């Protein structure tokens, strides 16, 4: 029975038990997601706004389950992390992204890198390098056309992460720092780490209009990156006004709904034609 006179908002929030139930339901279905073919990748283009060309795609996993419907990666990736399912799901996404990119290249559809997201457990996995190496060998994708997206937090506090990154880079792949700016990176971090790109988190892009501090942060990131020879990608670009502000700040590579939602592979040929990439 519900107790009266308690917290008025209690009834609107799922209880701890309900959250645990949902988490277990997700886990139960997620265990079978790969074999049941429920996972797919969507691809979101990254645009060089100076010449209007597509310069890359980010691979974003999608999960459609018969009982749960489409579940957001923001919901199931954390569950996959906690349960260890992320190793298989992450490797599936890596293989699928590499395979698809190789296909696009072979078919003359588009010749740009794809970026795959790595979770913390994947990054800490001793076998990561081997796994990537074998996926590259299996799919025949040139490593120069694979970007690994990791977050700041994953590398910050870990002894040996510089060595781990150098090890990965020795494969010939590139490293991008995802959601850059919301962690705790310092200039010295950027100088020490063997990385190639910074992805400016969408919260800064969104906040530029109303809070000048966001513009200042984007500006600072952009100038640091230029000094260090790093590429910058602004994420979550939704308006022309944001394009103008970012351009003013010297940022030319952008990703966001203004250009395209994440799309299925079958839509990529037409998108590439529209962006005059072929
Ligand atoms: P993320 O890596 O920061 O990915 C960007 C997210 O922003 C994606 O959400 C994308 O659909 C969304 N987005 C892109 N453009 C815009 C825009 O203009 N406006 C707004 N509001 N959003 C935009 P999505 O696909 O739901 O992915 C959420 C998160 O799930 C990703 O954040 C990433 O952390 C994780 N994720 C997705 N796929 C994978 C994967 O294969 N492996 C791992 N480990 N994580 C993944
Ligand atoms: Ca990402
Ligand atoms: Ca991001
Ligand atoms: Ca994010």
CA angle 217, 218, 224 (to 5 degrees): 90
- Which ligand is closest to the CA of 236, given by its number? 1
Q: Which residue's CA is the closest to the ligand 1 atom numbered 29?
A: 74
Q: Cα-flanking dihedrals φ and ψ of residue 33, to 5°?
A: -60, -40
Q: For the segment 19-59, what is each residue's pLDDT rounded down to a tens digit?
A: 889 899 999 999 999 999 999 999 999 999 999 999 999 99
Q: What tokens does 121 get? A: 């457990």
- pLDDT computed for residue 63 by the predictor: 98
- Check residue 186 and give its pLDDT: 66
Phi, psi of 178 (to 5 degrees): -85, 155
- Please give the DSSP secondary-structure letter assigned to residue 89: H
Residues of the chain with pLDDT under 50: 1-5
- Give the pocket of ligand 1 (CB within 6 Å): 44, 60-61, 72-74, 77, 90, 93, 117-119, 178-179, 202, 236-238, 256-257, 262
Whole-number pLDDT of residue 153 = 80
Nearest CA to ligand 1 atom 46: 117
What pLDDT score was predicted for residue 8?
55
Q: Say if pTM beats, i.e. exceeds, 0.95.
A: no
């Amino acid at each position: 029975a519900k107790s009266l006179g308690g917290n008025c908002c209690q009834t609107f929030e799922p209880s701890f038990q309900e959250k645990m139930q949902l988490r277990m339901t997700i886990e139960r279905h997620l265990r079978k997601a790969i074999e049941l073919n429920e996972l797919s990748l969507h691809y979101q283009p990254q645009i060089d706004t100076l010449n209007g060309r597509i310069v890359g795609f980010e691979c974003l996993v999608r999960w459609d389950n018969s009982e749960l419907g489409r579940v957001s990666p923001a919901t199931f990736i954390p569950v996959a992390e906690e349960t260890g399912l992320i190793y298989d799901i992450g490797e599936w996404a890596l293989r699928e992204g590499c395979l698809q990119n190789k296909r696009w290249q072979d078919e003359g559809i588009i010749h740009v890198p794809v970026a795959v997201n790595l979770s913390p457990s994947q990054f800490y996995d001793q076998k990561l390098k081997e796994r990537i190496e074998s996926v590259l060998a299996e799919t025949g994708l040139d490593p120069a056309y694979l970007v690994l997206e990791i977050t700041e937090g994953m590398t910050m506090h870990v002894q040996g992460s510089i060595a781990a990154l150098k090890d990965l880079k020795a494969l010939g792949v590139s490293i991008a720092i995802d959601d850059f700016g919301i962690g705790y990176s310092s200039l010295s971090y950027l100088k020490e780490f063997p990385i190639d790109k910074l992805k400016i988190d969408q919260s800064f892009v969104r906040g530029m209009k109303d809070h000048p501090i966001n513009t200042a942060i984007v500006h600072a990131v952009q100038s640091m990156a230029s000094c260090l020879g790093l590429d910058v990608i602004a994420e979550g670009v939704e308006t022309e006004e944001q394009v103008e502000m970012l351009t003013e700040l010297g940022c030319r590579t952008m990703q966001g709904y203004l250009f395209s939602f994440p799309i299925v592979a079958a839509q990529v040929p037409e998108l590439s034609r529209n962006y005059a990439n072929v």
